[in-house]
Structure 1
Amino acid sequence: MLEQLKNNQNKETQVDTEDSLVITNPRHQDILSGQIYKDKSTLKSVLSYYAIKNHFQYMVQKSCSKEYSIVCLDRKCKWSLRASINGTTQEFIIRKYYWIYTCSLEIRFGDQHQTTSKLIGDCIKPNFLNIKTTTTPKDIRSDLNDRYGIKMNYMKAWRSREHALKNLRGKSKEPYSLLPSYLYMLQKTSSRSILEIKTGEDNSLLFLFMVLDASLKGWPKCKPIIVVDGTFLKATYGGTLLLVHKMLEVKNLHLHFVLKTWENDKSWEWFFKKLREAYGVREGQCLISNRHESIIKETKQVYPEITHGNCMFYLLSNLKTTYKKHAKKYREPLFGATTAYTVEF
């Protein structure tokens, strides 16, 4: 008899969703009694965005795998909502909903509990779809305050930014763990390419050197001019990515790549030795770079027979930084001087 009553109760609470609209959008705007949500997570997300948009706060009375019940943070306000699972499915149905809220202004415009770093991270994800776009925690704080009136401290904005980046691009650590597999497959498909990883005692990445077979074949047809340039990696683990350019007669560029965890004498010595092993030395060869002390020092040791020149763009940048008052006047005379021929008597 008891078992039959339980079965009848389940039949009453379970709703057939074939003819009902199941809400899957975590930013669904309207909340009504009887609405069916894909799962509890979707329901919680919708409620959080709803609370932010309408400037009120709630607290959880009960939360488990079968039920979710919330009330307004203001004890005097009667706003409340109760949802429960739809039979044996993962769906949640709003069973009871009292939508009128009469909470005080102090609570409605105070620090909103629903604005977790995870929720904000999901909200700002579109800002990071373009890798060229830079969004700082300061930008996030200003943007969320203007759009939703949300006030947050710097650390919360930073955690939100990290959550958004993690969702879009994964953890910073994961790509490094894929490097050995990537290089192995690259060696399989291009056996003449030069690939080498150097790790520390704790198996952490120190240096990565990669030269493709196409670059090695194209080097004899290039002018014997090597340009070394680098960019700082601004992810969690930092480092420097070096690009080595070799100029063709038609001014196209061959490249090879080097990843270093820091810039010092030891790292530059390792790099230039690998560069010499891969390409050798040609008659009339020269190397162009910025004026980094370690580059100048290690070039003289590894390449004593070639000419080492300074990049005119770096020289121009240094001039503009040092003499800011007349910065716009330096470009034409500097480039004229650097491209002029020197006649030896």
Structure 2
Amino acid sequence: MMAHPTSDDEMVGGPTRHVPVLLQEVLDTLSPEKGQWVLDGTFGFGGYSSAIMKAGSNVLGVDRDPEAAVRATVLQQTFGSQLKFQAGCFGELAEIAMEQGLAPLDAVVLDIGVSSMQLDDAHRGFSFMQDGPLDMRMAQSGASAADVVNGYESKELAQIFKQLGEEKQARRIAEAIVTQRAQQSFETTLDLANCIEKAVGRKPQQKIHPATRVFQALRIFVNAELDELVDGLVAAEKCLKPGGRLVVVTFHSLEDRIVKRFFQERSKKHAGGSRYMPEQELAEPSFEMIVKGAVGPGDEELERNPRARSAKLRAAYRTEAPVHDLDARALGLPRLLADNRVGEM
């Protein structure tokens, strides 16, 4: 497990990164070549994509945030036909690649979390560092964080905060929220942050704001981020060509645990992949690890951007083995999410 970040913006969404974290490590692992097609499933501001295209490869960018599509239009003025963009979730990347006529792909890269452009915009409601609507929706559609906070029962809120934010005082915070909303609904980020701080207190020397883990949990829940990650890993397995590379950068322990266990399950020969599945014929590994364990930022990057210390890169090659069943529960999804998923994928 990675240690909890020690600044508010890290916990709420990962390092603020105008320059992509672990950029050189991502490029070294991908080894982009002219004529290849790389799917950037978390296009964002286009940081990884720009570097990949400068190295000669083509990019199919995917992102559910409408603002990413605007950035893609700008980059297309520079890179032309090297860049294609499709609005959508990276859990749908296999279907998107096939629709674009680009499957099987040479590589897939995923940078999990919220981008700097989302964090910096107070109107998106991802951070309590600035007051803004309690929103947090990456796709800018569907139920918002305010809908969850104002509509869910105390027990449900406590489960979200504990399992997705690893918040130790989840129950007390949930009860405080329900009590306050009976008087007035939560509308802004500071409404919620102030309620949480009042409920649990804050010591003068405390570096992490007491609302940090709750905001993380709400963001993950509203955007179904961990479910999306599982879907994206499975989709990449389906649409990568033999020898194709899957590179994933994560920023907190819940994400990294899922990626780590996925690669562990898919890089060994086994009879079913988990204790949840019955014995069956041994399945060949569908991935081969490029590096053992995870790659973190070097000293130079940490000196330039100390908040990058929580980033981890994991990567593997796709083998020629066919895709076989995967039980999502074996990947370490929090019970809140795992119980709602179909067991085998």
Q: Report which of the two structures shows the higher radius of gyration computed on alpha carbons.
A: 1
Structure possessing the higher relative contact order (Cα contacts under 8 Å, 6 or more residues apart): 2
Relative to its length, the structure with more strand (as a share) is 1
TM-score, normalising length from structure 2?
Answer: 0.22
Relative to its length, the structure with more helix (as a share) is 2
